[in-house]
Amino acid sequence: MVTMIAALGANNELGKDNDLVWHLPDDFKRFKSLTTGHCIIMGRKTFESFPKLLPNRKHIVITRNTDYSVPEGVVVVQNMNQALENCADDPQPFIIGGGEIYRLGMDHADCMELTHIEGTFDCDTYFPEIDHKLWQCVTSVAHEKDEKHDYAFHFNTYHRKK
């Protein structure tokens, strides 16, 4: 099962200048909990936004740059099919962004773990529109705004309709 995981604003905003525009500690905890032990597929810009490799995950970077240099253990590929081939031993690889990689992954995904943030943001990167004829929200857990979270949000799990 290929899963896309993202946090997005009310207008499908993902981020600006290769960074998030919100700070949601419980979303980070969920991301870590879900992706640890799995392959994480991302674009070059998303990879470069990390201060260091994320522990206990196989990093797969999609880039058109065939000479792209990465630390040992990181896999570089040129397309989504190659990325998924490198996840053959993982029952649930995760596509983690950015915007173009989510667009490429939409046809491959069986599941989406989306954090829907109740707010609109000035962003330059967006998650693709969700076709609700193809996707069904199977769980939704509300999280209110609090002292650690400037925005209310929902953790939603979507499955591709059969």
Mean pLDDT, 10 residues at a time, over the chain (162 residues)?
97 93 95 98 95 96 93 94 96 96 96 97 96 96 96 98 88
Which residues on neighbouring strands pair with residue 40, listed in sequence order?
59, 94
The gap between the terminal CA atoms of the chain, to the nearest Å, is 13
- Three-state DSSP at 122 gives coil
User: At 107, which amino acid appears?
Assistant: D
Cis amide prior to 98 (ω within 30 degrees): yes
Q: Find where tokens 């032990």 sit.
A: 37
User: Against a cut of 0.85, is the pTM above it?
Assistant: yes
Superfamily for the 3-90+98-160 domain: Dihydrofolate Reductase, subunit A (3.40.430.10)
Tokens 């490198």 belong to residue: 86
pLDDT at 120: 95
Annotated domain spans of the chain: 3-90+98-160
